[in-house]
Amino acid sequence: MSVVDHSSIELSPRISEAEVADYVALLKPRVMSLVIFTALVGLMIAPVHVHPVLAFTSILCIAVGAGASGALNMWYEADIDALMSRTANRPIPRGRITRAEALTFGMTLAFFSVMTLGILVNWVAGALLAFTIFFYVVIYTIALKRWTAQNIVIGGAAGALPPVVAWAGATGSLAVEPLLLFLIIFFWTPPHFWALALFRSDDYARAGVPMLPVVAGPDATRLQILLYTIVLVAVALAPWPLGYFDAVYGVTSLVLGAGMLALAINVFRFREGREASRATRRLFAFSILYLFALFATLLIEVVVRAVLPAIW
Amino acid sequence: MADNHRPDGIVLTEAQKKSRRQRSIAIALALGVLVLLFFAVTIVKGPAVLVRPL
C-alpha cells in the first residue's frame, strides 16, 4: 500500500529540443570573434617564437573561455534578456535551453578551457583566463551590472584581458606591451557601450539595468563619452612616443583617433532628433572599426616584419 | 501502477531525436578535438615523453 497514489501523478520530464546552433548562440559568437582577434594580436606581438600548435591551443582556449563567460552571462541574465528587444531572441528567453543547461554548459567549458590552457601552455595564462572568466561572470554580470552605472567601466576589464592572456601564453609572463593593449580596450569600452546604450536606453530602462543614460540621463552620458574618448585617443597614441609601437602604428592611431574624437564631439553636440540618433549610431559603428583597425595594424606589422626578410 | 499508464516509457519525437543526435555528434567532435590537441602538444612540447624506460 502506498500513501501517495502514483497513478494520479503525471510525470512529464522536459526533453530538450535544443540544437547545436542554440548552444553556439550561448557562446556569443560575435563577442568571441573580437576576443579571438585581440588575443591573436597579443600573441603575435610577443617577442618570442611560439610553436603554431601552442599558439592555436592558446587562442582556442581563450575563445572557449570567452564562450563560457557568454553562456554563464546568459544563465544569470535570462530574466532581463527576456525584457530587452536586443536580447529576447537568445536561447534561454526563447525557451530553447533552460538556465540549468546553460549553467552546466558554461561551467564545463570554463573548466576545460582553463585546465587545458594551464596544462598544455602554462599556468600563468591558465590563471589569467580563470580570472577573466571570474571577473566577467561574478564581478561584472552578478555584482556590478544591476547595481551601478559604472558597470561597463569596471566590467570592461574582463573584455580587455584576452590579449594579456595570450601574451602570457606565449611568454609565460607579463610585460608593458600587453598592458597597453589592455588599457586601449579598457578605455574603448565605455564610449562603445554608452553609444549603444544611448539608442537602446528604453530597453535597459524596461529591464531595470542602471546603464548611464538611464541613471544619469543622455546629456551626462554624452559628456562621459567625450571624456572617455579623449582618454582613449591619448592612451592609444601613447605607445608610439613611448617607443613600444612604431610610427606606422602611431600614424594609424592618430588618424583613427581623430575620426573617433570627431564623432564623439558630434555625439556631444547633437542632442535631439535624427542628427543626434545618427551621430550616436555612427560613433558606435566607427568604434568597432577603430579597435579593429588599430589592432590589425599591429598584426600586419608583425606579419610584414616576419615575411619581408624571407622575400628579400 | 504508473507503468500501466505509460507502457512504452518516454517516447521521443522526431525533432527530439534529431536534436539529441546533433548534440551527441557535437560532443563527440569536441572530445575528439581535445584528444588530438593533447596528443599534438605532447609531441610538440616533449617527444621525450615517448622515450622512457619500460
Contact B2 A11 (CB under 8 A): yes
Q: Tell whether B16 is within 8 A of chain A (Cβ).
A: yes
Number of H helices, E strands in chain A: 14, 0
Which of B3, B4, B14, B37 should be substituted to probe chain A, the one whose Cβ sees the most A Cβ atoms within 10 Å? B37
Q: Give chain A positions within 8 Å (CB) of B15.
A: 17
> A178: Cβ–Cβ under 8 A, 6 or more apart, which residues?
A42, A46, A163, A164, A166, A167, A168
Q: Tell whether A15 is within 8 A of chain B (Cβ).
A: yes
User: Nearest chain A Cα to B24, which residue?
Assistant: A20
pLDDT at A1: 45
Q: Tell whether A292 is within 8 A of chain B (Cβ).
A: no
**C-alpha dihedral, A272 to A255 to A45 to A134, nearest 10°:** -10
Alpha-carbon distances, residue B40 vs A47, A56, A61, A255, B52 (angstroms): 24, 11, 15, 43, 18
Least CB–CB distance from A7: residue in B2, B37, B40: B2
Q: Tell whether A17 is within 8 A of chain B (Cβ).
A: yes
Segment among A23-32, A303-312, B15-24, B45-54 with least mean pLDDT: B45-54
Q: Decide which of A41 and A202 is more confident.
A: A41
Determine whether A148 is exposed, middle or buried from the number of CB atoms within 10 Å of its CB (0-12, 13-18, 19+). middle
Q: Tell whether B24 is within 8 A of chain A (Cβ).
A: no
Mean pLDDT value across residues A182-189: 97
**Cβ pairs bridging A and B (under 8 Å):** 47
Q: What is the mean pLDDT of chain A?
A: 93
pLDDT at B45: 84
Strand ranges (E), chain A: none
- B26 min Cα distance to partner chain A (Å): 7
pLDDT at A38: 97
Alpha-carbon distances, residue A101 vs A16, A22, A72, A105 (angstroms): 10, 11, 10, 6
The pLDDT of residue B34 is above 80: yes
pLDDT at A155: 93
Q: Tell whether B27 is within 8 A of chain A (Cβ).
A: no
Per DSSP, A93 falls in state: T
Widest Cα–Cα separation across chain A = 91
Residue A78's nearest CA partner among A65, A89, A67, A63 is A89
Which of A19, A58, A96 should be substituted to probe chain B, the one whose Cβ sees the most B Cβ atoms within 10 Å? A19
User: Nearest chain A Cα to B4, which residue?
Assistant: A7
Rounded to two decimals, the ipTM of the complex is: 0.84
The pLDDT of residue A5 is above 90: no
- B2 min Cα distance to partner chain A (Å): 5
Least CB–CB distance from B10: residue in A13, A18, A120: A13
- B54 min Cα distance to partner chain A (Å): 25
pLDDT grade, residue A17 (50/70/90)? confident
